[in-house]
């Protein structure tokens, strides 16, 4: 069972850009085959609107799933449950997971990661679909949870086995929270990551590097791709990818074209301050090796859908 089509949003664009970027860097994505999703069902003694709020608000999620949470019901908004708020950043829970799609009051889809106990497997993201249906003339709600996107290797089997036990427990706690009250009485919504947004512009010093790298350059480009993936796993990267192909200048008598060196790579990242942003740029293996020329600019004002 697959989630319904996503509404128009930036998520497919982000996925496509990253796919092109990693391919250009010589990285090979983890191959996946069809693995049956997990399907868990529970009937909750509460009206659908109340159950919907439990899944789609920070306060609601903290009644049955985790002591801290951060949810923003928007395309690409965070869907983070912090199971261990005292742990190191990146190991507190579902950090970096996002809202993918929803139908108000009926269906919610979000990305989901493996637990911190499974270490390196956390970099893999699956999807979860939660569907709600009225029961008993609206007095109860049938909850169906579908978790898919598991890899067909040993790691994928471990992740699937973990959630085969975890999700029934979660839905049982959801029902319990409506019968007996919240599982956590002293909760606090997780803060948004502090800092500002920065744009890193990258351009190969040797133009042929992008499409015809030497063996040495290809190896460093692979390290560059891994560097960006690591930042993405920490939710430090918003979007990253190369600008390849035909470019277009604005038309019009008074329009002026911006002179930029091509090809050009763009990384949009979040950092606490200018020093951290600069250090992140300088830690890029391709920048350190002099393969990419780089410059970083603060994004002071932006509009996010």
- What digits encode the pLDDT tens for the residues 111-132? 999 988 887 888 888 999 999 9
Q: Check whether residue 158 and residue 63 sit in a common domain.
A: yes
| Higher per-residue confidence, 227 vs 294 | 294
Q: Which range is most confident: 5-19, 171-185, 218-232?
A: 171-185
Residue 129, pLDDT score: 97
Instruction: Judge whether 104 lies within some domain.
Output: yes
Split at pLDDT 50, 70, 90, the class of 252 is confident
Q: Check whether residue 166 and residue 48 sit in a common domain.
A: yes
Instruction: Judge whether 304 lies within some domain.
Output: no
| Higher per-residue confidence, 69 vs 1 | 69
Q: How far is CA 256 from the centre of its chain?
A: 37
Determine which of 39-43, 99-103, 187-191, 263-267 has the lowest per-residue pLDDT on average. Answer: 187-191
Q: Which residues contact 141 (CB under 8 A, 6 or more apart)?
A: 43, 44, 46, 47, 48, 50, 51, 132, 133, 134, 135
Instruction: Judge whether 58 lies within some domain.
Output: yes
At residue 10, does pLDDT exceed 70? no
Q: Check whether residue 60 and residue 132 sit in a common domain.
A: yes
Buried b (16+ CB within 10 A) or exposed e, 228-267: bbebbbebbbbbbbbbeeeeeeeeeeeeeeeeeeebebeb
Residue 276, pLDDT score: 75
Q: How many domains does the chain have?
A: 2
At residue 275, does pLDDT exceed 80? no
Q: Check whether residue 168 and residue 220 sit in a common domain.
A: no
At residue 89, does pLDDT exceed 90? no
| Higher per-residue confidence, 115 vs 304 | 115
At residue 274, does pLDDT exceed 80? no
Split at pLDDT 50, 70, 90, the class of 4 is very low
Q: Check whether residue 97 and residue 209 sit in a common domain.
A: no
Q: Check whether residue 126 and residue 79 sit in a common domain.
A: yes
Cβ(222)–Cβ(25) below 8 Å: yes
> 46: domain CATH number?
3.30.530.20
Q: Which residues contact 164 (CB under 8 A, 6 or more apart)?
A: 38
Split at pLDDT 50, 70, 90, the class of 162 is very high
Instruction: Judge whether 22 lies within some domain.
Output: no
Q: Check whether residue 135 and residue 226 sit in a common domain.
A: no
Which domain range does residue 52 map to? 30-180
Q: Check whether residue 55 and residue 97 sit in a common domain.
A: yes
* Domain stops at, among 180, 214, 234: 180
Q: Check whether residue 131 and residue 211 sit in a common domain.
A: no
Cβ(144)–Cβ(131) below 8 Å: yes
Q: Check whether residue 173 and residue 55 sit in a common domain.
A: yes
Phi, psi of 51 (to 5 degrees): -70, -40
Q: Check whether residue 160 and residue 111 sit in a common domain.
A: yes
Residue 16, pLDDT score: 37
Instruction: Judge whether 255 lies within some domain.
Output: no
Split at pLDDT 50, 70, 90, the class of 98 is very high
> 292: domain CATH number?
3.30.70.1060
Digit-coded pLDDT (tens) for 253-267? 888 877 766 657 888
Digit-coded pLDDT (tens) for 127-160? 999 999 999 999 999 999 999 999 999 999 999 9
Residue 56, pLDDT score: 93
Residue 32, pLDDT score: 45
Place of tokens 């893999």: 124
Residue 186, pLDDT score: 53
Q: How far is CA 247 from the centre of its chain?
A: 29
| Higher per-residue confidence, 22 vs 135 | 135
Q: Give the pLDDT mean for 33-37.
A: 81
Q: Give the pLDDT mean for 76-96.
A: 85
pTM exceeding the 0.85 threshold for the entire prediction: no
Q: Check whether residue 154 and residue 46 sit in a common domain.
A: yes
């Amino acid at each position: 069972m697959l989630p319904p089509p996503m509404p128009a949003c930036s998520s497919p664009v982000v996925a496509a850009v990253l796919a092109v970027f990693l391919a250009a860097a010589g990285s090979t994505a983890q191959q996946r085959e069809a693995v049956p999703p997990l399907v868990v069902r529970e009937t909750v003694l509460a009206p659908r609107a109340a159950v919907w709020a439990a899944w789609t608000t920070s306060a609601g999620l903290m009644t049955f799933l985790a002591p801290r949470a951060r949810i923003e019901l928007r395309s690409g908004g965070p869907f983070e449950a912090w199971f261990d708020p005292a742990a190191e950043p990146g190991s507190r829970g579902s950090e970096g997971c996002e809202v993918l799609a929803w139908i108000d009051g009926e269906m919610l889809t979000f990305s989901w990661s493996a637990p911190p106990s499974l270490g390196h497997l956390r970099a893999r993201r699956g999807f979860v679909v939660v569907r709600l249906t009225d029961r008993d003339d609206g007095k109860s709600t049938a909850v169906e949870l579908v978790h898919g996107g598991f890899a067909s290797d040993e790691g994928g089997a471990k992740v699937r086995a973990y959630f085969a036990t975890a999700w029934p427990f979660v839905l049982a706690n959801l029902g319990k929270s409506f019968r007996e009250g919240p599982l956590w009485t002293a909760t606090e919504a997780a803060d948004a990551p502090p800092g500002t947004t920065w744009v890193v512009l990258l351009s190969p010093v040797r133009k042929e590097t992008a499409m015809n790298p030497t063996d040495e350059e290809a190896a460093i480009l692979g390290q560059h791709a891994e560097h960006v993936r690591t930042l993405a796993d920490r939710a430090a990267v918003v979007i990253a990818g190369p600008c390849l192909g035909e470019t277009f200048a604005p038309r019009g008598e008074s329009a002026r074209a911006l002179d930029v060196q091509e090809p050009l790579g763009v990384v949009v990242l979040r950092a606490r301050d200018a020093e951290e942003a600069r250090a992140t740029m300088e830690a890029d293996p391709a920048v350190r090796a002099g393969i990419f020329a780089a410059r970083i600019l603060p994004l002071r004002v932006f509009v996010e859908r």
